Amino acid sequence: MNIKKKLATVFLSMTLLLTCVSSALAKSYTDIPDDYWAAEEIEDVVTKNIVPIYGDNTYKPLERVTRVDWTEWLLRALGLSQAPITSEPNYSDVFNTTYGYESIARSDQFGLIYGYTDGEFKPQRFITKTETASIMSHITKDTDVDTTILNQFADANQIPDWGVFPYAKAVKYGLYINWPLETELNPNRELNRAEAAVLLARLMRAMELVVPDKKAEEPQVPEEPKEYILATEHLDDFNGRAVVDRVQITNLRRIILAKNIFRVSFLEPFNSTQHQIGDVIPFYFKKDVVTKEGTLLIPANTKLYATIEELRDKKWINKNTEVYLHFDKMVFPNGHEYPFIARVLNNQEGVLSENKWLKPLEYTVAGAAIGGAAIGLPVGEANHRSGDGMAIGFPTGAGVGLLAGFLTPGVNFKARADEDVLVELKVDCSLYNDYTQQFTSTTRHIIEEQPQKVQQ
């Protein structure tokens, strides 16, 4: 054998091995070959947790099915296995300690499986194929059916009188089993697990035939309402620092556009030495946030939460501690939460830090060799740590003290409770008129114009 043939043989062997392994991994049971007559339906009901397998990873397709097991599986197939129990079943052989009691109670509520004339349910009795045909008949919608449809089966005359019409209806709807011979129904034989899988799989594929009150209601998907822009309003632009100051008012929500600026305050005292990466720092709005046109957006005392993403410790030569924050949500006083993605606004994006001149000033003012110099300190907008608008004038004679200040360690970042910080919104923030709507759609197509009023 040449090298090419050897490689081809090895490749074929590996392919077959991988196919077998994949097939074995796909199934949780080991006793159903792929060519088994009910293999597809068994896989369907096992995958959907309708029919369980055994602890030894087998399905046991020829094992007979008890009435209580069939009851439980039917409830699962109809989506009723978790329905509230509103009444107790009235059978002389069923108690709250009976195996499958809850399934029998639910079945009784929905009228799925009837008991016997002697007042018993007989939960451990094996169910027959005629009984299952009767069940399939009375849980499905009425239809005209000629019982001669049963004449195609050689053993139709073996169907009990009470089961003739139900069996005919089940045959018309395709909810029956004629295995192993297509010409025989074996109506009085007890149902096995393979046949149960086929019946349940067929039922789940034909749920439109089931009477509405004998299956779970399909959830109604609400239609997404159309959204219109009603007005564009404005927020404080903080003396031109805000890149955007607009808010779009629609019929469904108030959209605060990204790049708007807000003034928020520390809820608690902050000291960088007492925190680490991952800590959540609370802020709050001292006042209502209202547009210039008068629309309330964010009520006073709304909490705003930021996570420390990075914490750079102070270093020598006047390198101060830097605190990198990421704001991600706000919580209204009524408990409603909204995404609020923002950053600290200063020259270093997202960073809280003492102003770079603060440490030298502290040092020189403390009594270093200034030579009687005076220091002027005009402070910029909002916060003396923001790093914006800071200007310092140093008269002659301050040089020595300033140099000494530069050569000392930097300072940690500290803030008082109620101390203000400016933050810039990074992503549009939507405040829905109906709070629950924020969970139905994260992206909406807005129709730009307000709909025209109908003329009377």
Helix or strand holding residue 292 (H, E): none
Digit-coded pLDDT (tens) for 262-275: 999 999 999 988 99
Ordered domains of the chain (ranges, CATH): 20-214 (no CATH), 222-354+413-438 (2.40.128.260), 357-377+393-409 (no CATH)
| Average pLDDT of the residues in 423-434 | 90
pLDDT band at 326 (very low <50, low <70, confident <90, very high): very high
Digit-coded pLDDT (tens) for 10-36: 444 554 444 444 444 346 799 999 999
- Return the closest-CA partner of residue 172 out of 201, 206, 198, 195: 206
pLDDT band at 435 (very low <50, low <70, confident <90, very high): low
pLDDT band at 173 (very low <50, low <70, confident <90, very high): very high
Q: Is 54 helix (H, G, I), strand (E, B) or coil?
A: coil
| Average pLDDT of the residues in 293-313 | 92
Alpha carbons 147 and 137: distance in angstroms, whole number: 13
Query: How, if at all, do strands 246-250 and 227-234 pair?
Result: antiparallel
Q: Please count the helices (runs of H) and the strands (runs of E) in the chain.
A: 9, 16
Q: What is the dihedral of CA 314, 315, 319, 323, to 10 degrees?
A: -30
> Of 451 and 136, which is predicted with more confidence?
136
- Return the closest-CA partner of residue 332 out of 289, 375, 393: 289
Q: Which residue has the tokens 């402070």?
A: 379
Q: Is 167 helix (H, G, I), strand (E, B) or coil?
A: helix
pLDDT score for 445: 57
> Of 90 and 375, which is predicted with more confidence?
90
Give the chain's end-to-end CA distance (angstroms, integer): 93
pLDDT band at 446 (very low <50, low <70, confident <90, very high): low
> 425 - beta bridge partners?
342
Residues 6+ apart with CB under 8 A from 144: none
| Average pLDDT of the residues in 286-303 | 95
Which string of DSSP letters, residue by residue, matches 61-84?
TTSB-BHHHHHHHHHHHTT-TTPP
Residue 206 has pLDDT above 90, yes or no: yes
pLDDT score for 361: 43
Digit-coded pLDDT (tens) for 211-255: 999 998 876 655 667 888 999 999 999 999 999 999 999 998 999
Q: Is 211 helix (H, G, I), strand (E, B) or coil?
A: coil
pLDDT band at 313 (very low <50, low <70, confident <90, very high): confident
